[in-house]
Structure 1
Amino acid sequence: MPERSEIRLRIIVEHPVVGVLHSLQAKDDRPLDPKASRNGEPLVFELPIRVGPGPRFFGDQVRREGPVRRFVHIRIGDLAGDPASPWSRRMKIDIHDIDPAWLDRAVDGGSVIETTVNGTGRDGTPACATVRPVVRRLTDR
C-alpha cells in the first residue's frame, strides 16, 4: 500500500427510527449530509477516508481514541441538526478493525467497504454508543 491512499466507506443504517435525523460528523463537529427515514428505509452515508501503512486512518470524519482505535460518528437527533428532537446521540462505528486485504482492494476506487449497522436499539430508540456491524463487506462501486 502506498504512503496514503483514498478508499470509499459506505455506512448503511438499517432500521433507523422513523423521522429521526442522522448525519455524519464533520471535522468541525457540525452535521454533514443529514437525512431521516420516512418509512423505515435504510440511510446510506458514503465518505472518503485515507489509509496509510499500519494501517493508519485519516480524514475529516475519522475520529481517534487511544493509539489504535479509529471510528466514524453518525450523529442523531439534535446533534444531527434537529433541535426539536428528544434525542442527542452519536453512533460510534469502528473502522480500525477492517481487514487489511479489503483496504488494499478498495484503494483508489477499486471497491467500496460497506458497513451495515442496526439503527434501532433494543429499547426502540435510536442506537447509540459503539454500534457493531451487522454486516461488513467489500462491494463494487
Structure 2
Amino acid sequence: MARADQTEIRMRIVIDNPVPGVLHSLQTGDTGVLDPKRSKAGEPLTFDFPVRIAPGPKFFGDQIRREGPTRRFVYIRIGQSAGDHASEWSRRMKIDIHDTPQALLDRAMAGKGVVELTVDGTGKDGSPACATVKVTGRRIA
C-alpha cells in the first residue's frame, strides 16, 4: 500500500504496575531495542511511537509486528531481552493493536490526541507479565 494512503498517528503503551527494577523497552524491527526504561515502584512506564494507518484499518511502522492476515501487535522487551544481561528475566509482552476501536483511530488521525493502550505489567505470579497481555484500557490522551 502506498504511503500516500496512510496517515501517521502517535500511539502510547502504558504499563501499569510493572515489577520494580526491571528494564523494559519497545522492540523495533525484528530484534532491536528502543527507548529502554527501568521500572520504579508505583510508577507506570510509557512508550510512545509512530504508527501509520491505512483504510481497513491496516497498521504499519517499525514497531508493528504481524501474525496472519489481520493480527497486528507491538512487543515490549523485558529484562535480558531489553538489554539488561544481569536480569533474571528474558521475555516479551505481546500487545495487540489491531482491535483498537475505529473511533479512537479516527480521533488520532484528526490530530485530536494520542491513542493510549494500558496493560498490567505484573503477572499473576508476581513476575513481569509476558506473552499476550490483555489491554485493560483504551483512550485518547
Q: Bin the TM-score by the shorter chain.
A: over 0.9
Aligned pairs for 1:49-128 (under 5 A) are 49-107=51-109, 109-128=111-130
Q: Distance in 1 between matches of 2:110 and 2:131?
A: 31
1:48-101 CA distances to partner (integer Å, 9 max, x unpaired)? Answer: 100001100000000000000000000000000001111110000000001112
Q: Which runs of 5+ in 1 are unaligned?
A: none
Q: Which stretch shifts more, 59-68 or 108-117?
A: 108-117
**Percent identical:** 63
1:21-59 CA distances to partner (integer Å, 9 max, x unpaired)? Answer: 000001151211000112231001011100001100000
The count of residues paired between Structure 1 and Structure 2 equals 138
Question: Runs ≥4 in structure 1, deviation > 4 angstroms?
Answer: none
Q: Which stretch shifts more, 36-45 or 69-78?
A: 36-45
Q: Distance in 1 between matches of 2:18 and 2:60?
A: 27
Q: Which runs of 5+ in 2 are unaligned?
A: none
Q: Distance in 1 between matches of 2:18 and 2:42?
A: 6
Corresponding residue SS for 2:56 = coil
Q: Distance in 1 between matches of 2:126 and 2:40?
A: 16
Residue 123 of structure 1 deviates from its aligned partner by 0.1
RMSD after superposition? 1.2
